[in-house]
Amino acid sequence: MAQKIAVGIDVGTYQIKVVVASQDSREQRAKIIGTGFAQSRGIRHGYVVNRQDIAKMLQLAIREAEKSSGVAIRRAYLSVGGVGLEEFRSRAELLVSRADSEVTELDLKNIIEESERKISSRLLNRKVIHAIPLAYRLDGERLMGSPIGMKGVKLELDALFLTALEQHLNDLIAAVEDVGVSVIDVMASPLAGSFVTLTKAQKIAGVVLANIGAETLSVAVFENDVPISVKVFPMGSTDITHDIALGLKISIEDAEQAKRGALINSVTSKKQLDTIIAHRLSNIFALIEAHLKRLGKNGLLPAGVVISGGGSGVTTIEDIARVVLKIPSKKASLMVEGKSKVKNGTWAVAYGLCIWGLTNDIESSSFSTIKENASGFITWLKQFLP
């Protein structure tokens, strides 16, 4: 029986993670058959600072994944994240092109392009990696779903564009290709992680996925099964470690252990430690609260906040999130098939890339792709249907 294989590569600030997954015609979900990881070097806050260092560590992670899966890795899906990710909003309107006034795929393509053209002056040094339709209107009436096949004169669109710094994206792709792996496609890390940490019901009701990495906080907000915002802040779990080291006057190594629940000695006050951690986590969730307020969604997401990433391991994190955001709170758990050793949310992005690569299902992921542009680097257009 033919078996499909997909590889996801997540280059984070702290670790590089590689997941190999398979799927045959009888399986409903991708099964993880191999993983590999290595300490990350050459990247800060999601920015590429040394391509050679990234390639060297990536080679180690890929070799481990090849050994555990028995698969030679030659092609992969790649995530892009960090503070270089930025969102832009645009509104456009066009007359329906057909004489009989029926909306076609060409009209949708044209209005997306017009939306991007309207913000082109703000996209200096940036590459659009996702174009997401948030709301269509036909002759002034807001629509639920795609307008294709409907009849009208004027089509309007509110769109969200997710962009990456072009040089960073090019360097990241080049680092992967330096080790002999071609990049099939790229995806924003918060969206990749959502495939295996959020259910469709949560995305429809309204939910925020908060990924606390080593140096960045990534926030993806979903409503009606559409990502309505993606934001990255330059704050992460390393800031908690530094706060502990300064507050308790201990080494960075001991502070990291204390953050994870190990009291260093009897002199260390658990109350003082908890206060330091709670203060920084409150600041982190205050950033999310302020962002939700700008969107008009603070306190209005019934599915609450789902917390993933390496910084989600702090024991009190759910309680603090619930108090600050005033919505339900829970830690992410991966929706993994079979008896995989991969269970925690730090693997969500790499595994989510595999899910996307194997299924490529518009119905389940709400988007389609357009791959390579004339420059030879990976670029594609994601069309999310509201």
Cα separation, 2 vs 182, whole angstroms: 22
- Give the pLDDT band (50/70/90) at residue 343: low
User: Are 282 and 146 found together in one domain?
Assistant: no
Summarize pLDDT for 231-272 with one digit per residue, the tens.
999 999 999 999 999 998 888 988 888 887 766 665 557 788
HEC profile of 258-287: HHCCCCCCCCCCHHHHHHHHHHHHHHHHHH
- Kindly state whether residue 327 falls inside one of the protein's structural domains: yes
Summarize pLDDT for 289-315 with one digit per residue, the tens.
999 999 999 999 999 999 998 888 887
CB 117: neighbour CB atoms within 10 A? Answer: 11
Residue 373 is predicted with a pLDDT of 37
- Kindly state whether residue 141 falls inside one of the protein's structural domains: yes
All residues at 6 or more sequence positions from 264 whose CB lies less than 8 Å from its CB, including other chains:
248, 250, 254, 257, 258
User: Are 154 and 223 found together in one domain?
Assistant: no
- Kindly state whether residue 380 falls inside one of the protein's structural domains: no
User: Are 251 and 320 found together in one domain?
Assistant: yes
DSSP 34: E
Which residue, 164, 19, 156, 161, is CA-closest to 82? 164
User: Are 257 and 355 found together in one domain?
Assistant: no
Give the count of domains, the chain: 3
Average pLDDT over residues 343-368: 71
Terminal Cα-to-Cα distance of the chain (whole angstroms): 36
Cα separation, 197 vs 307, whole angstroms: 9
Q: Model pTM greater than 0.85?
A: yes
% of residues, the chain, pLDDT over 70: 87
Please say which residue of 113, 138, 161 terminates a domain.
Answer: 161
User: Are 301 and 177 found together in one domain?
Assistant: no
pLDDT at 56 over 80: yes
User: Are 130 and 146 found together in one domain?
Assistant: yes
- Kindly state whether residue 124 falls inside one of the protein's structural domains: yes
Q: How many CA atoms lie within 13 A of 247 on its CB side?
A: 23
- Kindly state whether residue 79 falls inside one of the protein's structural domains: yes
pLDDT at 379 over 60: no
User: Are 117 and 266 found together in one domain?
Assistant: no
Tracing tokens 């791959």 back to the chain, one arrives at 371
Token pair for 158: 């509110």
- Kindly state whether residue 373 falls inside one of the protein's structural domains: no
Domain of 291, in residue numbers:
200-331
User: Are 53 and 193 found together in one domain?
Assistant: yes
Q: 81 and 46 in contact (C-beta within 8 Å)?
A: yes
- Kindly state whether residue 371 falls inside one of the protein's structural domains: no
For the four alpha carbons of 291, 294, 295 and 297, in that order, the dihedral sign comes to positive
Give the CA-trace dihedral at 200, 213, 348, 175, to 10 degrees: 130
User: Are 327 and 340 found together in one domain?
Assistant: no
Cα 163–Cα 169–Cα 173 angle in degrees, nearest 5: 140
- Give the pLDDT band (50/70/90) at residue 335: confident
Q: 89 and 159 in contact (C-beta within 8 Å)?
A: yes
CATH number of the domain to which 260 belongs = 3.30.420.40
User: Are 42 and 178 found together in one domain?
Assistant: yes
Average pLDDT over residues 110-125: 94
The residue count of the chain comes to: 386
